[in-house]
Amino acid sequence: MADAAANPIACLLVIGNEVLSGRTQDLNIQFIAKGLGAIGIPLREVRVIPDVRDTIIAVVNECRARFDHVFTTGGIGPTHDDITSECVAAAFGVPWEPHPEAWARMERHYEPGQFNAARQRMATMPRGATLIDNAVSIAPGFTIGNVHVMAGVPRIMQSMFTTLAPTLQGGVPVQSRAVHAAGLLEGAIAEGLSAIQDRYPALDLGSYPYYRLGGNGVALVAKGTDTAALDACIAEVTALVEAQGKAPVPGEPAV
Amino acid sequence: MADAAANPIACLLVIGNEVLSGRTQDLNIQFIAKGLGAIGIPLREVRVIPDVRDTIIAVVNECRARFDHVFTTGGIGPTHDDITSECVAAAFGVPWEPHPEAWARMERHYEPGQFNAARQRMATMPRGATLIDNAVSIAPGFTIGNVHVMAGVPRIMQSMFTTLAPTLQGGVPVQSRAVHAAGLLEGAIAEGLSAIQDRYPALDLGSYPYYRLGGNGVALVAKGTDTAALDACIAEVTALVEAQGKAPVPGEPAV
């Protein structure tokens, strides 16, 4: 992953027992990974962790020191297992207190008497947090320092990420070039592929077998920030596939 | 997550640039999470890490010390980016060498001259590894110490996990009870739910809003190893929903 050495790098914390128990299929990692690549802040690690206070605090502090940006999903709703916000406050060593703007918005939103203690928790944030709005739910996410706290529900998270991304100082977008071929076997091209990777050390060249009703094959994907190198690399990969007597098709295989 | 304090606990390492770039939607976490819960080895952390040697070695060593079992997916194919096996050997400080049984099987499998250097890498393992067979591919996974190394392709991984699981010393299975209700809002029941969670500290009680074409609602899920406590807990949750004037439906909502 030397494809973007000068780019800022990111870590994602997926916070929630429901992912670790298998109750919930995560759909947030892929969306965020693609979105971050597009703005040149490649995702370098994901950690799925439980709704456990000490764990969240420790992992937030470890990761905000190691990465330029830390994104979190999950744990900012109104229920007892939604503890991300107060844990982030503890990680930063700042008070967890009503956020005036979030509080005012939510107070206006609910009928009299319905802005109860549980919902007030969603307007309670680490001191100094700035809001991340979303178009789906009244409750905002927030940023403090280099930590961006978002909802776990995919469509709310996606709206928050879409609000947040343009505000970040991005790098050079990570782009990709792909070619695939039916009937190709990884083991037959592995040595040639390794030689190509060695000639393009700044790119990340991956080989991904696929299994489709229409036939098995391999997809070969080059990723990086240097478009000229990407074009040259994928041309070499295409020639390698042809030398195996297989028909290379540009792009990824259809799902 | 005090639901299974006496059970062994597990960590999963998803190894692959393709998940971090968003190229590939992970489908392995949920399968493994459910499978481990069923044999009483709950999954407590997942880390998605890149195909980077130093990172893999460091994370394997950190996690095999912290968890009873470490499972890995990805990076055991024949190509240059498949470095999991040699990194696990380095993490354990043992030679990475031909595994006699795996080597013999693969040599028999391929046509003469086709068991090339790239494919030989798939029969090269940390000294002392025991094989994890699978019904899909000739190349096996392996176990060394408390680390179980599996393929990244979901159907191959699933076959390996199915072979492996009965050989592990499991604990008390983690079970769940659920109820859901249309029109329910988390914020309306959060305080009551928190009180129920306090009465069942050994269970893990979660609240998950859902958004369906047929109507929004909330699913309430209790997980743990004590079936009597689970039954009592979900009965209290059901009563809480009814007290809101909503109709509780047993189980999770249909997808």
Q: Nearest-CA distance from A144 to chain B in Å? A: 23
Containing B239, the helix (H) or strand (E) segment is helix B227-243
Q: Find out whether A63 and B45 touch, Cβ atoms under 8 Å.
A: no
Check whether B1 has a pLDDT greater than 50: no
Q: Nearest-CA distance from A214 to chain B in Å? A: 17
Fold held by A175-250: Alpha-Beta Plaits (3.30.70)
Note whether B62 contacts A: Cβ–Cβ < 8 A. no
Residue-level pLDDT at A215: 82
Comparing A172-181, B4-13, B86-95, B240-249, which segment has the lowest mean pLDDT?
B4-13
A79 → closest Cβ in B116, B121, B190: B190
Confidence of residue B254 (pLDDT cuts 50, 70, 90): confident
- Asked if the Cβ–Cβ distance from A191 to B221 is below 8 Å, we say no
**Scanning every residue of chain A, which has its alpha carbon at the shortest distance from the alpha carbon of B113?**
A188
**Rounded distance between C-alpha atoms, residue B117 and residue B204, angstroms:** 49
Note whether B190 contacts A: Cβ–Cβ < 8 A. yes
Q: Nearest-CA distance from A31 to chain B in Å? A: 7
Confidence of residue A2 (pLDDT cuts 50, 70, 90): very low
Fold held by A10-167: Molybdenum Cofactor Biosythetic Enzyme; Chain A (3.40.980)
Which residues in chain B are contacts of A18 at CB distance < 8 A?
A: 206, 208, 221
Query: What is the phi-psi region of residue B67: left when phi exceeds 0, alpha when psi lies from -120 to 50, beta otherwise?
Result: beta
**Scanning every residue of chain A, which has its alpha carbon at the shortest distance from the alpha carbon of B53?**
A1
A186 → closest Cβ in B19, B42, B79: B79
Q: Nearest-CA distance from B123 to chain A in Å? A: 12
Residue-level pLDDT at A214: 75
Share of chain B above pLDDT 90, in %: 94
Strands, E assignment, A26-68: 43-49
SS3 A151: coil
ipTM of the complex: 0.94
**Scanning every residue of chain A, which has its alpha carbon at the shortest distance from the alpha carbon of B194?**
A80
Q: Find out whether B76 and B82 touch, Cβ atoms under 8 Å.
A: yes
Average pLDDT over residues B118-145: 96
Domain ranges of chain B: 10-167, 175-250
**Rounded distance between C-alpha atoms, residue A87 and residue A81, angstroms:** 12
Check whether A4 has a pLDDT greater than 60: no
Residues B215-230 pLDDT 10s: 899 999 999 999 999 9
SS3 B154: helix
Residue-level pLDDT at A5: 59
Confidence of residue A213 (pLDDT cuts 50, 70, 90): confident
Note whether B209 contacts A: Cβ–Cβ < 8 A. yes
Check whether B213 has a pLDDT greater than 90: no
**Scanning every residue of chain B, which has its alpha carbon at the shortest distance from the alpha carbon of A252?**
B23
Q: Nearest-CA distance from A185 to chain B in Å? A: 10
- Asked if the Cβ–Cβ distance from B23 to A50 is below 8 Å, we say no
Query: Which residues contact residue B200 at a Cβ distance below 8 angstroms, ignoring those fewer than 6 apart?
Result: B222, B224, B229, B232, B233
Question: Structure pTM?
Answer: 0.95
- Asked if the Cβ–Cβ distance from A51 to B1 is below 8 Å, we say yes
pLDDT averaged over every residue in chain A: 95
Check whether A34 has a pLDDT greater than 60: yes
Q: Find out whether A223 and B18 touch, Cβ atoms under 8 Å.
A: no
Average pLDDT over residues B115-131: 97
pLDDT averaged over every residue in chain B: 95
Q: Nearest-CA distance from A94 to chain B in Å? A: 25
| Residue A250 in tokens | 């540009």
Q: Find out whether B51 and B81 touch, Cβ atoms under 8 Å.
A: yes
Which residues in chain A are contacts of B18 at CB distance < 8 A?
A: 206, 208, 221
Which residue is listed with tokens 């098995």?
A216
CA-based nearest residue to A157, from A24, A3, A8, A4:
A24
Confidence of residue B211 (pLDDT cuts 50, 70, 90): confident
**Rounded distance between C-alpha atoms, residue B42 and residue B52, angstroms:** 27
Residues A67-107 pLDDT 10s: 999 999 999 999 999 999 999 999 999 999 999 999 999 99
Residues 114-153 of chain B whose Cβ lies under 8 A from any Cβ of chain A: 114, 116-119, 121-122, 153
- Asked if the Cβ–Cβ distance from A117 to B191 is below 8 Å, we say yes
A191 → closest Cβ in B14, B21, B118: B118
- Asked if the Cβ–Cβ distance from B190 to A80 is below 8 Å, we say yes
Share of chain A above pLDDT 90, in %: 94
Q: For an interface test with A, which of B1, B9, B23 has the most A Cβ atoms less than 10 Å from its Cβ? A: B23
Average pLDDT over residues B150-160: 97
